[in-house]
Amino acid sequence: MSSKVEFLYLQQEDCIKAGGLDMAGCMKATERSFFLHGKKAFIQPGKPVIRWGGPETEETTGRIMSMPSYLGGQEYEEELKERDLLGPVNTSGIKWIPSKPHNPSKYNLPRANAVITIVDPDTLMPVCIMDGTVVSAMRTGAASGVAAKYLANPDSKVMGLVGASVQGKTQAMAIKAGVPSLEVLKVFDINRATSEKFVEEMKDQLGMELVVVDSAEEAFRGSDVISTATMAKEPYVKAEWYKEGALHCEISFWDTPAEALKIMDKVVVDDWYQVSHHGVDVSYRAVRDGVISEDKILGNMGDIVVGNIPGRQSKSERIFFNPIGMGIHDLSEAFRVYENAKEMGIGRKLPLWENPALV
Ligand SMILES: NC(=O)c1ccc[n+]([C@@H]2O[C@H](COP(=O)([O-])OP(=O)(O)OC[C@H]3O[C@@H](n4cnc5c(N)ncnc54)[C@H](O)[C@@H]3O)[C@@H](O)[C@H]2O)c1
C-alpha cells in the first residue's frame, strides 16, 4: 500500500478563482462557524502570539499569531441546512498570520500575510496548504457582516468607515451584505489617498454611494453602522459622536477609548475567552481596568446566532461589536474555498513525501 502523502497547494490567485472574494459565500461560512461556536462544536485554544514588546507594539514592530482550531458540526447538518448555511466541517487546521505594519509603505506589501493548513480528519495529514491572506481578510469582514445582520437596526441607511485599506474594503463589502438597506458609506482614512483609492476600487461593487470625509468624527456622526479598521496607535473616538441606535464594529484595537464604552448599551464579542487571552481589545481593557463592569459584555456572537441570548432588543440601543478574530472562521472559510477548488480542479498537488522516512 502506498504511503505517499500529497496536499493541494492553493496560491492566492487559485483561492480567488475558487471563490475567495465571494462575500456571500464567505458570510455563510462565517455564520456557520458562529453557529457552531454557539453550539460548542469547536475547539479553539488561546492564540500563541509572538511580539517583541507589550501589546501596543503590535501596531509598531508587529506580531505573529498562530491560530489552531477544530470545527465539528455533523450533528447539526439539518439545522445548518434549514438556515441555508454551509454544511459541517469536521476537521482541523491552523492559520499562521504575521503582521508587519511598515510593509505597505516600505515594501508595497500587505501588512499581514497568512498561510493556512487543513488536515484530513482521519489521518491528520495535510490535505491543503493555502494562502490565507484573502481568507483572513474576507472572514474578518464577514464576522462584522454577520454581526451587523443580527445587531444593526434593519432600516439602517448610513455607514461610516474609518480605515480604508485591506480590512476596510472587506468590512464595507460584508456590512452591506448584512444590512442591505444601507445607502451611503462615509469613508475616512488618515491618508486621504487611501480613501480615494478605496472609492475608485469599490464604487462599482458596493451598491452604496461612497463619500470621502475629512475626519473620523464626520464618518461617525449620523451613521447607523460604523466600522473602525485602522492601525491607530491611540484612541480618537468620542462617545458623543454615536447616534442613538448605532452599531459600531471595532476590529482594530486602539481607536475607541475604554471610557467611550460607557455609552454603549451592549458590548458583544466573538469569544470572551479569546478576547481576554489576547488582552488587546478595548472591551477587555475596559473591564480589566474597571471602566465598565463585565455585565455589560452581553456575550459571544455565536450565542446570539444560535438564539441562546437575545441581540438587539430596541431601536435605540447602542451596540459595540469587538471581535478579536477566531481561528474557526478561518477554518470554515478556508474549507469552503478548498472544497470549491477541488470541485473546480484548481491548484497544484504537491507531495509531502513519496515514502515516509524513519517509519
Ligand atoms: N479583529 C480581527 O479579527 C482582525 C482581523 C484582521 C485585521 N484586524 C485589524 O484590522 C486593522 C486594519 O488592518 P489592515 O490590514 O487594513 O491594515 P493596513 O495597515 O493595511 O491599513 C490600516 C489603515 O489604517 C489607516 N489609519 C491608521 N491610523 C489611522 C487613524 N488614526 N485614523 C484613520 N485611519 C488610520 C492607515 O492609513 C491605513 O490605511 C489592524 O489593526 C488589524 O490588526 C483585526
In a domain, 146, yes or no: no
Same domain, 303 and 333: no
Residue to mutate, 58, 63, 146, 167, ligand 1, most ligand atoms under 8 Å from C-beta? 167
Residue to mutate, 165, 249, 330, ligand 1, most ligand atoms under 8 Å from C-beta? 165
The CATH number of the domain holding residue 102 is 3.30.1780.10
Question: What does the pLDDT read at residue 207?
Answer: 97
Question: What does the pLDDT read at residue 242?
Answer: 98
Instruction: Fill in the DSSP letter of residue 167.
Output: H
Same domain, 343 and 316: no
Which residue has its alpha carbon closest to ligand 1 atom 41? 252
In a domain, 145, yes or no: no
Ligand 1 cavity residues, CB under 6 Å: 104, 111-112, 140, 162-168, 189-191, 194, 216, 229-232, 236, 251-253, 323-325
**Residue 280 CA: distances (Å) to CA of 29, 36, 224:** 26, 25, 26
How far apart, in whole angstroms, are the C-alpha atoms of residue 130 and residue 341?
Answer: 11
- Ligand 1: centre distance to CA 345 (Å): 35
Same domain, 284 and 317: yes
Q: Which residues of 262-275 are buried (b: 16+ CB within 10 A; e: fewer)?
A: eebbbbbbbbbebb
Same domain, 290 and 218: yes
Question: What does the pLDDT read at residue 238?
Answer: 98
Sign of CA dihedral 190, 194, 196, 200: negative
Same domain, 117 and 81: yes
In a domain, 141, yes or no: no
Same domain, 65 and 125: yes
Question: What does the pLDDT read at residue 55?
Answer: 87
Report the nearest atom of ligand 1 relative to the CA of 143: 3
C-alpha cell at 310: 437575545
Beta-carbon contacts of 359 under 8 Å, excluding residues fewer than 6 positions away, are 3
In a domain, 258, yes or no: yes
Same domain, 87 and 121: yes
Same domain, 15 and 92: yes
Instruction: Fill in the DSSP letter of residue 241.
Output: G
Same domain, 277 and 173: yes
Report the nearest atom of ligand 1 relative to the CA of 166: 16
In a domain, 130, yes or no: yes
The range of the structural domain enclosing residue 204 comes to 152-321
Identify the bridge partners of residue 187 per DSSP, sorted by sequence position.
161, 212
Which residue has its alpha carbon closest to ligand 1 atom 27? 231
- Indicate the residue type of 19: G
In a domain, 112, yes or no: yes
User: Residue length, the chain?
Assistant: 359
In a domain, 147, yes or no: no
In a domain, 196, yes or no: yes
Same domain, 108 and 160: no
Total number of domains in the chain: 2
Question: What does the pLDDT read at residue 340?
Answer: 98
Question: What does the pLDDT read at residue 1?
Answer: 77
Same domain, 85 and 223: no
Do 329 and 33 touch, CB atoms closer than 8 A? yes
- Ligand 1: centre distance to CA 85 (Å): 29
The CATH number of the domain holding residue 171 is 3.40.50.720
pTM: 0.98
Same domain, 296 and 186: yes
pLDDT tens series, the chain, 359 aa: 789 999 999 999 999 999 999 999 999 999 999 999 999 999 999 999 999 999 889 999 999 999 999 999 999 999 999 999 999 999 999 999 999 999 999 999 999 999 999 999 999 999 999 999 999 999 999 999 999 999 999 999 999 999 999 999 999 999 999 999 999 999 999 999 999 999 999 999 999 999 999 999 999 999 999 999 999 999 999 999 999 999 999 999 999 999 999 999 999 999 999 999 999 999 999 999 999 999 999 999 999 999 999 999 999 999 999 999 999 999 999 999 999 999 999 999 999 999 999 99
